[in-house]
Chain A
Amino acid sequence: MTKKSQGANEDQVKEPKRKIVPLKSQKEAKEVKSSKKEEDLLLDSGTDSDYDGCSLSGSLNSDDFDSEDDFDSHRETQDDSGHEGSDEVIDSENGEEEDGSDDEGSEQREVAEESDSSEDEVAPRNTVGDVPLEWYKDEKHIGYDITGKKITKKEKQDKLDSFLATMDDSKNWRKVYDEYNDEEVELTKEESKLIRRMLKGEAPHADFDPYAPYVDWFKWDDAIHPLSSAPEPKRRFIPSKWEAKKVVKLVRAIRKGLIKFDKPEEEPNVYLLWGDDSASDQKSKHLTYIPPPKLKLPGHEESYNPSLEYIPSEEEKASYELMYEEDRPKFIPKRFTSLRSIPAYENALKESFDRCLDLYLCPRVRKKRINIDPESLKPKLPSRKDLRPYPNSCYLEYKGHTGPVTSISTECSGQWIASGSTDGSVRIWEVETGRCLKVWQFDEAVKCVAWNPLPDFPILAVAMGVDLFFLNTELGTDEEQQRIEELLRLDNLPELDEAAAAIAKWLPDEKYRGIKIRHFKNLSYIDWHPRGDYLSAVMPGGETRGVVIHQLSAHSTKRLPIKMRGLPVCTLFHPNHRGLFIIATKKYVRVYNLHKNGEPIKKLETGLREISSMAIHPGGDNLVVGSKEGKMCWFDMDLSSKPYKILKNHPKDITNVGFHRSYPLFASCSEDSTAYVFHGKVYSDLNENPLIVPLEILRGHSSKGGVLDCKFHPRQPWLFTAGGDSVIKLYCH
């Protein structure tokens, strides 16, 4: 299709719009056409619909624009479209249009004039107006012609065919597809030239000369007056003073040598810096210089060709990915079979930079590094063989309880042991044989059992709930039995004062022919005085009345004249000093003198979180405290109120600790179902510290429930342990 006919078509297309503005001339019609063209090109260049809309609006604007001057109006459109963000191509298209019009100006005008009459000759043109062409995407037509008939789309050519056609056609490069009219437009030579000029940044019009000589419109000739009537000043004719000054300044600067014209000679910047090292022996006044640590030297794995075993397998590499970034190995060995195949190391700069950062940002501290065998840190302990005898192997098991055995107690002769369990039974066993001699059955879980320490009074004290029982074990001779029965008869109950009565009530126990003392709170611990007449009972809930002392012979109960601080855990009578009474609360152990009306004597700071048990050395000066965090403290009470030794031996709560009465042994048992046996020798020489040696870890109780109590045999170096698995074990040497 020729350009002329196209122009005519454009006119037709724009007909309805032009009717709105009746004053439009032919020139303007042409301009509309050009803007239309521009839009088409835009579409061709594959811009999106937004863009397309913009240019459309631009064209509309130009439509409204009324101007006689062709060139100007074109510039306007161009500006508009440019304003909307058009690129060079668009500009060039505009220009081209304009150029074409100017080139064949008159001729085209004629064509435009004829356009009305030549309507019939041209093909039907699209009249859809400025609607997005997308709307017709799925239709078979692209719009309507002037008569309202559908303009059908051209049949789409086969891709291959179209490609071949484009290949064959040498003029293909200047063909442009007009989507609006669904036709191909071929650019003329002039148009393409114009585009080229625009791309070069020149004026689109070939004839336009940007450097045209200036035409001075001002008439100079026939002016009567000069612009300034002042006479020419004198300074125009004499040399400048300031310039002279400047020159003098420069001359002086040159004379003084401030301005030099030849470059200063470079003095050698390297010389023998360390000529004589002797002068440098003087000590520097500054802080000690800590040389930076050298970088780690590379190992086999960093080699470019390491042994195969240094290279991680695929699975290992995959497992690195799953690791945290800090844990991931910094360097993964690689293997190259020849030197020439090694690539550049990508982290070279980074590592160098990191090193620099370390050098000037990291605090340097001199640290002593010990390079010793860790085994040498272990203290030299005396051989265990020399410290025999001590319990080390399980010899007997006492089975019979159905619940965890909470407490055991040995009779002072060592022939019997008593045990109490949570199933409510108290049993007496023969040590040698494991025979169960006697069983008492109660309703409540037994908390604590304790034999009277006197050999001729085989009485058993049993604590459970709020009750404390004194039971006759019916051992011993008849004479002893008689005495015990007498003792346990509550005939002449002395009058208790009201305070004591509120704490405990003495009642006869018909069932077992013993005594029952009913307390006002639950009992947790009982302990006999070594003389066997007094018994202390601990009630953690009792607050200030938490510890009471019962006197068996007088059937009376006494409150302690002590102000309790904290919850009492366990109590002890001092083995040698009659009046000394030791109370362990959760954090501290305090010693009182009961003879002096409960005067506080000592306070031991354990530093433990929660004390669970305590035992005193038969010598009376050393104390072992077990805690619920698994620590054991040995106190030398003469030495200090701080622990002499803290042993962290159990991972779980220590349930009980105990000293042997004659051998230098002590033990601890814990909920981790082990019991430790220690050698704990106390010297009579006060200057010598006690010797503590761990001897044996006794295992054997099942892991559930742990070991709840341990007691030494009074004469032999044997240890009884009561387990949560309802078994009592005897460990012998």
Chain B
Amino acid sequence: MPKHYRPAGKKKEGNAARYMTRSQALKSLQVNLNLFRRLCIVKGIFPREPKKKVKGNHHTYYHVKDISFLQHEPLLEKFREIKTYQKKVQKAKAKKNEELARLLLTRQPTYKLDRLIRERYPTFIDALRDLDDCLTMVHLFAVLPASDRENLEVKRVHNCRRLSHEWQAYISRTHALRKVFVSVKGIYYQAELEGQKITWLTPHAIQQVFTNDVDFGVLLTFLEFYETLLAFTNFKLYHSLNVKYPPILDSRLEALAADLYALSRYIDASSRGMTVEPKVDASSSSQSNDRAESELRLAQLQHQLPSSEPGALMHLVADKEVEEDEETRACKSLFKDLKFFLSREVPRESLLFVLPAFGGTVSWEGEGAPFKEDDESITHHIIDKPSAGHMYLSREYVQPQWIYDCVNARIILPTEKYLVGRIPPPHLSPFVDNEAEGYVPDYAETIKRLQAAARNDVLPLPGVGKEDLEDPQNLLYAGFMSRTEEIEAAENKKTMAEREKQYHEELKKELKKEVTGSVVDDVAAPVVEEGEGEESSVPDAAQIAQDTADMPTLMMSRKKRKLYDAMKIGQKKKSESVERIKQRKKNLKADQ
């Protein structure tokens, strides 16, 4: 009887019954691969790894329950309906019945994804947790050029752009932004919403290029879902601020590509309880900027005070007061009294997002800006040119990196290193735990010292700063000490062993001298040795240390030993990379 014989009529059991391959799934769902893919994407269904792969290693396996879940999805029916409808249109077109085709096209069946979102993310927290990819994708598509070839419509790009700005406006308004990092790939932002850390990447504001090795069908399906998800998330967020969604923006500002500013003004205005849309005085810019400022102030004040509406009050108490923890307050007041002006060449979108998020007031060069360059109260002028033209003495001219570094350090860093025309100090990632990594860059230590100084209100002297650094250093020192001790001990052992050897040799000589071949009391000699014959004499100290370390590994079970070895390899890799960086640093120092 073959091993896998199963009597006729007996049902399958185990993995064979619980999992099916993709082609089996396609067959049972009666869909093609494209449709299946779309369904999987919008339903969030992914392959699973069975313990035993019944059909072989080269298949993708789906859980039977997942597939039956798809089977009962109304969307599947809807997709089929659309497909047959498309056929109808095509038929009409083929018969040159343009009128019918046009008529049919106006009544195309459509579908909505809101139910799926509710299904996939039963609570708002769930949605926030999975928002990383969504935000990254939407931000990416917001800067892509619309393209006929890839079936990417202008409408969608605009929608992405609008959604991303709405999101940023909310984050900025609630001061939920925590970390910013400018990398080669783009700008990473990290915000904290309802205890969830949400990180997303926005590409640099430069024309992106289409590559050929990308299947846009997949991307667009994902985008479709993400757009819906972000729209609902934004709705919920705006709702929590008592702001109407979707926001109606000032068309003039929108036309000037200052959507973010328009949005923030909108939120400010409507969260005050004003149902009137913000009006911008097109006539006089000075008046408008005054008004904008006052509006901002008012909005902020308003938030401190409970609003008159009982519902809103509850909301404020429930949401704001609790949520406004220490960190939010710190973020809010980082740039509180500072006024920024952005030059033309700096990344405006990013800074317009970041600066208000940390409590700064900001304007830019161009139409619709709240205040002009010649405003006397401007404290910092952000500039990214080799040299500034006309310079006001009342303000400081700094490079944009200063802002990002300040944000990450949560203190106002001294501006000397970031002044115009200088090469700024290295921009460090705020996402790295330097101590855990094993290597602390120089500038990180400088920042740490500055932070400590800011906290203690003491001048950043190196001697003072050391106290704060003590912890890691102590650790390091301790580690170092333990190692040196080990080495010493090993050396001691070695000398002892040598002495012993000498002693033994002497003893041997004595014995030989004494009597050869006579009966020796076989206990006598060892008794003498027992006193100090303890350590091995030949192998060196390192060998001994190695042996003692390896000894317990012999007694591990195989599983544990494998795990131990894998961990050791990982540690070794890490330490190697740190070592490499240190070596490079040494080389750089040697070159200087």
Say if the beta carbon of A289 comes within 8 Å of chain B. yes
Inside 8 A of A414's CB, which chain B residues have their CB? Answer: 522
* B434 to A, closest residue via Cβ: A300
Contact of B347 among A259, A339, A697 (CB under 8 A): A339
Known contacts A277-B123, A286-B69, A379-B552; decide if A374 and B567 are in contact (CB<8 Å).
yes
Say if the beta carbon of B538 comes within 8 Å of chain A. yes
Say if the beta carbon of A206 comes within 8 Å of chain B. no
Contact A306 B188 (CB under 8 A): no
Known contacts A363-B48, A392-B536, A431-B522; decide if A381 and B555 are in contact (CB<8 Å).
yes
Most chain A CB within 10 A, of B41, B185, B582, is at B185
Contact A433 B552 (CB under 8 A): no
Interface flags, A276-316, vs B, CB<8A=1, else 0? 01001000101101111011011110111111111111000
Say if the beta carbon of B308 comes within 8 Å of chain A. no
Contact A433 B534 (CB under 8 A): no
Most chain B CB within 10 A, of A311, A374, A649, A733, is at A374
Q: Which residues of chain A from 354 to 413 have a CB within 8 Å of any chain B CB?
A: 355-357, 359-365, 370, 374, 377-381, 389, 392-396, 413
Contact B427 A364 (CB under 8 A): no
Q: Which residues of chain A from 456 to 514 have a CB within 8 Å of any chain B CB?
A: none
Contact A272 B61 (CB under 8 A): no
Contact B185 A348 (CB under 8 A): yes
Inside 8 A of A365's CB, which chain B residues have their CB? Answer: 48-49
Say if the beta carbon of A21 comes within 8 Å of chain B. no
Give min CB distance, B221 to chain A, whole Å: 9
Inside 8 A of B522's CB, which chain A residues have their CB? Answer: 413-415, 431-432, 715-716
Q: Which residues of chain B from 299 to 342 have a CB within 8 Å of any chain A CB?
A: none
Give min CB distance, B99 to chain A, whole Å: 11
Contact of B520 among A311, A337, A396, A433 (CB under 8 A): A433
Most chain A CB within 10 A, of B239, B399, B428, is at B428
Give min CB distance, B122 to chain A, whole Å: 4
Give min CB distance, B233 to chain A, whole Å: 9
Known contacts A273-B117, A273-B236, A356-B222; decide if A435 and B517 are in contact (CB<8 Å).
yes
Stretch at the interface among A37-45, A46-54, A654-662, A688-696: A688-696
Stretch at the interface among B129-137, B170-178, B276-284, B387-395: B129-137
Known contacts A280-B123, A286-B69, A359-B133; decide if A309 and B581 are in contact (CB<8 Å).
yes
Give min CB distance, B441 to chain A, whole Å: 5
Say if the beta carbon of A338 comes within 8 Å of chain B. yes
Contact of B185 among A287, A298, A360, A434 (CB under 8 A): A298
Contact A299 B555 (CB under 8 A): no
Inside 8 A of B235's CB, which chain A residues have their CB? Answer: 270-273
Contact B552 A381 (CB under 8 A): yes
Contact of A433 among B124, B231, B512, B587 (CB under 8 A): B512
Inside 8 A of B106's CB, which chain A residues have their CB? Answer: 263
Say if the beta carbon of A346 comes within 8 Å of chain B. yes
Contact of B213 among A350, A360, A379 (CB under 8 A): A350
Bound-complex Cα distance A333 to B41 (A): 34
Stretch at the interface among B8-16, B200-208, B364-372: B200-208
Say if the beta carbon of B255 comes within 8 Å of chain A. no
Inside 8 A of A290's CB, which chain B residues have their CB? Answer: 46
Contact A378 B556 (CB under 8 A): yes
Known contacts A270-B246, A364-B46, A699-B539; decide if A378 and B553 are in contact (CB<8 Å).
yes
Say if the beta carbon of B477 comes within 8 Å of chain A. no
Interface flags, B37-79, vs A, CB<8A=1, else 0? 1001100111111000000000011010110010000000000
Known contacts A298-B183, A393-B500; decide if A377 and B564 are in contact (CB<8 Å).
yes
Contact B218 A270 (CB under 8 A): no
* B66 to A, closest residue via Cβ: A287
Say if the beta carbon of A698 comes within 8 Å of chain B. yes
Say if the beta carbon of B242 comes within 8 Å of chain A. no
Contact of B428 among A284, A303, A346, A715 (CB under 8 A): A303
Contact B137 A352 (CB under 8 A): yes
Inside 8 A of A263's CB, which chain B residues have their CB? Answer: 106
* A393 to B, closest residue via Cβ: B536
Give min CB distance, B443 to chain A, whole Å: 7
Bound-complex Cα distance A683 to B547 (A): 28
Contact A348 B236 (CB under 8 A): no
Known contacts A309-B585, A313-B584, A374-B568; decide if A300 and B423 are in contact (CB<8 Å).
no
Inside 8 A of A698's CB, which chain B residues have their CB? Answer: 536
Say if the beta carbon of B435 comes within 8 Å of chain A. no
Bound-complex Cα distance A109 to B318 (A): 107
Bound-complex Cα distance A270 to B236 (A): 10
Interface range on chain B (Cβ under 8 Å from partner)? 35 or more
Contact A699 B140 (CB under 8 A): no
Bound-complex Cα distance A292 to B41 (A): 13
Say if the beta carbon of A342 comes within 8 Å of chain B. yes
Contact of A305 among B199, B401, B567 (CB under 8 A): B401
* A340 to B, closest residue via Cβ: B384
Inside 8 A of A340's CB, which chain B residues have their CB? Answer: 345-346, 384-385
- Chain A count of residues within 8 A CB distance of the other chain: 105
Contact A339 B214 (CB under 8 A): no
Contact B536 A353 (CB under 8 A): no
* A715 to B, closest residue via Cβ: B522
Say if the beta carbon of B32 comes within 8 Å of chain A. no
Bound-complex Cα distance A61 to B402 (A): 82
Most chain B CB within 10 A, of A309, A434, A692, is at A309
Contact A352 B46 (CB under 8 A): no
Bound-complex Cα distance A379 to B547 (A): 15
Say if the beta carbon of A2 comes within 8 Å of chain B. no
Contact A349 B520 (CB under 8 A): no
Say if the beta carbon of A247 comes within 8 Å of chain B. no
Contact A272 B428 (CB under 8 A): no
Interface flags, B209-250, vs A, CB<8A=1, else 0? 111011100110010000000011011100100000110000
Contact of B182 among A304, A333, A361, A437 (CB under 8 A): A304
Contact of B538 among A289, A394, A694 (CB under 8 A): A394
Say if the beta carbon of B438 comes within 8 Å of chain A. no
* A346 to B, closest residue via Cβ: B209
Contact B526 A360 (CB under 8 A): no
Known contacts A342-B204, A381-B555, A432-B511; decide if A361 and B47 are in contact (CB<8 Å).
yes
Bound-complex Cα distance A337 to B132 (A): 29
Bound-complex Cα distance A305 to B538 (A): 53
Interface flags, B548-590, vs A, CB<8A=1, else 0? 0001111110101001100110010000000001101101100
Contact B537 A393 (CB under 8 A): yes
Say if the beta carbon of B535 comes within 8 Å of chain A. yes
Q: Which residues of chain A from 321 to 357 have a CB within 8 Å of any chain B CB?
A: 333-334, 336-340, 342-353, 355-357
B residues contacting A by CB (< 8 A) are 37, 40-41, 44-49, 60-61, 63, 65-66, 69, 103, 106, 112, 114, 117-125, 127, 129-130, 132-133, 136-137, 140, 144, 181-186, 188, 199, 203-204, 206-211, 213-215, 218-219, 222, 231-232, 234-236, 239, 245-246, 345-347, 384-385, 399-401, 423-424, 426-429, 431-432, 437, 441-443, 497, 500, 504, 508, 511-512, 516-517, 519-520, 522, 525-526, 529-530, 533-539, 543, 547, 551-556, 558, 560, 563-564, 567-568, 571, 581-582, 584-585, 587-588
The 4 A-B pairs at the shortest CB distance, nearest first, are namely: A280-B122, A297-B431, A374-B567, A378-B552
Chosen A-B contacts, 23 in total, with CB atoms closer than 8 Å, are A273-B236, A274-B121, A277-B122, A280-B118, A295-B132, A298-B181, A298-B188, A299-B432, A299-B437, A304-B182, A307-B426, A309-B585, A333-B184, A339-B401, A345-B184, A350-B214, A352-B136, A353-B213, A363-B47, A378-B553, A379-B556, A393-B537, A694-B552
A residues contacting B by CB (< 8 A) are 259, 263, 269-274, 277, 280, 284, 286-287, 289-292, 294-295, 297-300, 302-313, 333-334, 336-340, 342-353, 355-357, 359-365, 370, 374, 377-381, 389, 392-396, 413-415, 430-435, 437, 646-649, 692-700, 715-716, 718, 732-733
Apart from A345-B184, A694-B551: 13 A-B pairs, beta carbons within 8 A: A263-B106, A298-B188, A298-B429, A299-B429, A333-B184, A337-B423, A338-B384, A339-B401, A378-B556, A381-B552, A430-B520, A432-B522, A699-B539
